[in-house]
Structure 1
Amino acid sequence: MPAYHVEESIFIKKQPAELVEYLSDFTSWPTWSPWLVMEPNCPVTYQGTQGEVGAGYHWQGDLTGEGKMTLKEKSDKQLVIDLQFIKPFKSFATATFKIGPEGDGSKVTWLLDAKLPFFLFFMKKMLEQTLSMDYVRGLKMLKSLLEAGSIASKMELIGERQQAKMHYVALASEATINELGDLISSDYEKIYTHFKEKNISAVGAPITLYESMDMETSICKVRNLFPVENPVAVEAPFICDSIAESKTYVVKHVGDYQFIGNAWSYAMFSARHNKVKIKKMPAGFEAYLNNPHEVSTEHLETEIVLFAK
């Protein structure tokens, strides 16, 4: 059976002892778990005395599947957790938290070691990359919860919707997921300046269209764009193109852009659960419905729009 490994770290401005106690109490996990956050009504039951070896919890959701975890080892710098996945397929894994002092806080490293069922061997690289992104989301939410006291991320399922044909002007770019934020801002500024120089008017919210993503390298090919009423003449590197009328599946995210991945995950899992077939490429787009310079972070509105078959 092919083994796979995931490892991600983050700095949190809390002392190791506090983090060990917080993470060993599973009743806190639904608030920041990158999986339970997309299904807040998922039934969860707890076993044992929380914070002590032998404690655990069991979940059984429509989107998150079914499984249970048990605290196996606990020390002042490490937690070891046994994971048992029951649905959608049975497997076992070991999750570890390594927590050590760093500056005025702690470095938290979240690891996962497991083996895939033999019939899923071809999914190893994709699974590692997907889980790495999940771990990054979870650690960011954990950091926000413990440092700021809250997580600015709320989601609303809009569901199936018909997308009208859309003309647009764009810049085509590529970057890793971690680099996308700066790239998107830079491209939008260039397009905005070009529109002012050429007297072109946008007729909708700015959009990032995801043309492809390499799951092994996390490199995304995107088009950062503004919708326009009709096609316009542009010169390279600008592109004028259109999105055809199409069926879509939509989730709205309200909150910090750093948590938009929650909405992507929710949209994918929800579409699968509701038997809505999604196109692989282009996967979809993000539409930024309000201006981050005009509203607070917790009120930022973004739509995740998946292209349906």
Structure 2
Amino acid sequence: MKRFFKILGIIIGLLILVFFILAFTQPKVAHIVRTRTWKASQPVVFDQVVRFKNWPHWSPWVEIEPGVKLTYEGVDGQPGSSYTWVGDETGSGKMTNIAVTIEKMKYELEFIKPWHGRSSGSISVEAQQTGEVKVTWEMEMIATFPFNALNFMFDHSVGKDLERGLELLEAYTVAHPQIEMTESNIVERSFPATNYATIRKSVSFAEMKDFSESVFRKIREAAPERIVGPPATFYYRWEDSAQKYEIGPAYALSGSGPLPDKDITVMPVPTSTVISLLYKGGYANLGSAHRILQDYAGKRGMNIVNVLEEYISGPADDPDSTKWATNVIFFVK
């Protein structure tokens, strides 16, 4: 018996030694990354990622516990929005959106039960030239000494959850290839100060297409290295009955200096409050997005200052109009 306890003591001592060796050699942050690529529209997939109210469609943790209680706060899809969960199997905690770009959302996680902890992560959705999307889900798990000795286990355990989430996200977006056009998808946000290269002119509806294409071409030729966004159009005035429109086809630019083509104006747009709606489909029905935004602004007493359309994808990217995406933005006060 003494020999047994002696051997057991040696084993326990070795395990403790290994544990502390790992604690001294393992980083305090475990970085977990999983990537998946499939055929889908980037705006459709990103809409699922950036809006927490869409996560139950594909969340691996909701799959584990479908009855988990979810509570949402803030403007869904924007920095500062969050959701909390309370469940028997998944514990409780809070996820907060801390930053958003056109293809990436960063978040912070606070675990409350069964243990307290924090981590951070991001999900990016990148459009590929093949018509596919590349989705990368990253998480950083932070552990203090000596519990960082267990960080090597997180890549396996948490990595399996991320892999399953990407599988479910693919299945859902393939089965639901459209973004629903409702007020619930309108985003209220701060629009950053931006410089635009543009040519402003009053045109008829019949002239609009040729005029816009000529302006886009002139800007690309004048400042290819300064263009930092998709083609866009400002709408200053419109008379639908007369089919007359004052528009400014434009590109967002880096820097504020003038361009060599004197017909092109570099126009500064200050930091502004906007409401926006991502529309997917051919341009014939684009007016529906404008009407939804107009109704939304009217109900809330917002004054519309300016209107901008950003052409995220269009005829130059794919002949299939169901895959075109336009971000309709209303500048409001």
TM-score bracket relative to the smaller structure: 0.3 to 0.5
Higher helix share: 2
Max radius of gyration: which structure? 2
Report the TM-score, using the length of structure 1 for normalisation: 0.46
Report the TM-score, using the length of structure 2 for normalisation: 0.43
Higher strand share: 1
